[in-house]
A and B are shown apart, each in its own frame.
Chain A
Amino acid sequence: MQTRPPAQYEQLAARVRAHCLRMTHRGKSGHVGSMLSMADLLAVLYSSILRVDPKQPDWPDRDRFILSKGHGGGAVYATLAELGFFPKDWLNTYYLDNGKLSGHISHHVPGVEFSTGSLGHGLPVAVGMALAARHAGKQHRIFCLMSDGDCNEGSTWEAMMFAAHHKFDNLIVVVDYNRVQALGKMEDVIEMEPFARKVEDFGWAVRTIDGHNCGQIEKTLSEVPFASNKPSWVLARTVKGKGVSWMENTVSCHYGSVNDEQLAKALKDLGANS
Chain B
Amino acid sequence: MRSVFNEELLKIAHEDRRIFMILADIGYGEIEPFARAFPGRYFNVGVAEQNMTGVACGVALEGNIAITYSIANFPTLRCLEQIRNDVCYHNANVKIVIIGGGMAYGPLGISHHSTEDLAIMRALPNLVVVAPCDFAEARAATRAMIAHDGPVYYRCGYKKEPPIHRGPINFQFGQALTVQDGADATVIFTGTIGYNCLCAVEALAREGIHCRLISLHTVKPIDRAAIVQAARETGVIVTVEEHNSMGGLGGAVAEVLMDEGCLDVKCRRLALPDVNVSLVGGQDWLRQQYRLDPDAIADAVRQVVQ
Question: Which A residues form the contact surface with B (CB < 8 A)?
Answer: 107, 114-118, 120-121, 123-133, 135-136, 154-155, 158-159, 161-162, 166
Once A133-B62, A158-B48, A162-B46 are accepted as A-B contacts, the answer to whether A128 and B54 lie under 8 Å apart by CB is: yes
Q: Is B290 an interface residue (CB 8 A)?
A: no
A106 and chain B: residue at smallest CB distance:
B89
A258 to B100 CA separation, bound complex (whole angstroms): 53
Q: Are the CB atoms of B85 and A127 closer together than 8 Å?
A: no
Judged by a CB distance under 8 angstroms, whether B66 is at the interface is yes
User: Is A125 in contact with B86, judged by CB distance below 8 angstroms?
Assistant: yes
Contacts of B55 in A (CB 8 A): 124-125, 127-128, 131, 159, 162
Residues of chain B within 8 A (CB-CB) of A162 are: 45-46, 48, 51, 55
Q: Besides the contacts A124-B86, A127-B58, what 19 more A-B pairs have beta carbons closer than 8 Å? A: A117-B85, A118-B85, A120-B50, A124-B55, A124-B57, A124-B82, A125-B57, A125-B61, A125-B86, A127-B54, A127-B55, A131-B43, A131-B58, A131-B59, A132-B58, A132-B59, A132-B62, A155-B50, A155-B51
Q: Which residue of B lies closest to A135 (CB)?
A: B40
Which residues of chain B come closer than 8 Å to A125, judged between CB atoms? 54-55, 57-58, 61, 86
Q: A154-B50, A155-B82, A162-B48 are in contact. Are A124 and B58 (CB under 8 A)?
A: yes
* In the bound complex, CA of A203 to CA of B59 (Å): 22
Complex Cα gap A154–B57 (Å): 18
Count of CB-CB pairs between chains A and B under 8 Å: 90
- 5 closest residue pairs by CB, A with B: A128-B58, A124-B54, A132-B62, A158-B51, A158-B48
Q: Bound state CA distance, A162 and B48, in angstroms? A: 9
Is there contact, CB below 8 Å, between B53 and A115? no
Cα distance A121–B88 when bound, in Å?
13
Alpha-carbon separation in the docked complex, A130 to B55 (Å): 9
From the candidates A128, A135, A161, name the one contacting B57 in the complex (CB within 8 A). A128
A132-B54 contact given A114-B90, A121-B86, A158-B45, CB 8 Å threshold: no
> A158 with B46: in contact, given A124-B55, A132-B62 (CB under 8 Å)?
yes
- B238 to chain A minimum Cβ distance, whole angstroms, is 40
Q: With a CB–CB cut-off of 8 A, which chain B residues contact A158?
A: 45-46, 48, 50-51
Q: How far is the CB of B262 from chain A (nearest CB, A)?
A: 38
The answer, yes or no, to whether B41 is at the interface (CB within 8 Å) is yes
The answer on a CB contact under 8 Å between A121 and B90 is no
Q: B56 within 8 Å of A by Cβ?
A: yes
Q: Choose from A128, A135, A155, A166 the contact partner of B61 (Cβ within 8 Å).
A: A128
A244–chain B nearest beta-carbon distance, Å: 31
In the complex, the chain A residue whose C-beta lies closest to that of B48 is A158
Q: Which residues of B contact A118 (CB under 8 A)?
A: 81, 85
Interface of A is mostly: helix
- Asked if B126 CB lies within 8 Å of chain A CBs, one says no
| Beta-carbon contact of A126 and B58 below 8 Å | yes
Residues of A within 8 A of B53 (CB): 124
Contacting residues, chain B, for A155 (C-beta < 8 A): 48, 50-51, 54, 82
Interface positions, chain B 207-259, Cβ under 8 Å from A, are none
Check: B64 CB closer than 8 A to any chain A CB. Answer: yes
Contact A123 B54 (CB under 8 A): yes
Q: Assess the B59–A159 pair: CB atoms within 8 A.
A: no
Complex Cα distance, B51 from A112, in Å, reads 21
What residues of A have a CB within 8 angstroms of the CB of B57 in the complex?
124-125, 128
Residues of A near B89 (CB, < 8 A) are 115
Q: Is the CB of B51 within 8 A of A127?
A: yes
Chain B neighbourhood of A166, CB < 8 A: 43
Among A115, A126, A128, A154, the residue within 8 A (CB) of B85 is: A115
Cβ contact of B90, chosen from A115, A123, A131, A136, cutoff 8 A: A115
CA distance A159 to B45 in the complex (A): 8
Expressed in whole angstroms, the Cα–Cα distance for A107 and B45 within the complex equals 26
The distance in angstroms between the C-alpha atoms of A137 and B267, with both chains bound, is 57
Chain A residue with Cβ nearest B55 = A128
Interfacial chain B residues near A115, Cβ < 8 Å: 85, 89-90
In the bound assembly, the distance between CA atoms of A121 and B53 in angstroms comes to 10
Q: Could you say which residues of chain A place their CB within 8 Å of the CB of B62? A: 128-129, 132-133, 136
B residues in contact with A121, CB < 8 Å: 54, 81-82, 85-86
CB proximity of A114 to chain B, nearest CB, Å: 7
Contacts of B85 in A (CB 8 A): 115-118, 121
Q: How far is the CA of A123 from the CA of B57 in the complex (A)?
A: 11
1/0 contact string of B20-47 vs chain A (CB within 8 Å): 0010000000000000000011010110
Name the residue in B22, B41, B89 with the highest tally of chain A Cβ atoms < 10 Å from its Cβ. Answer: B89
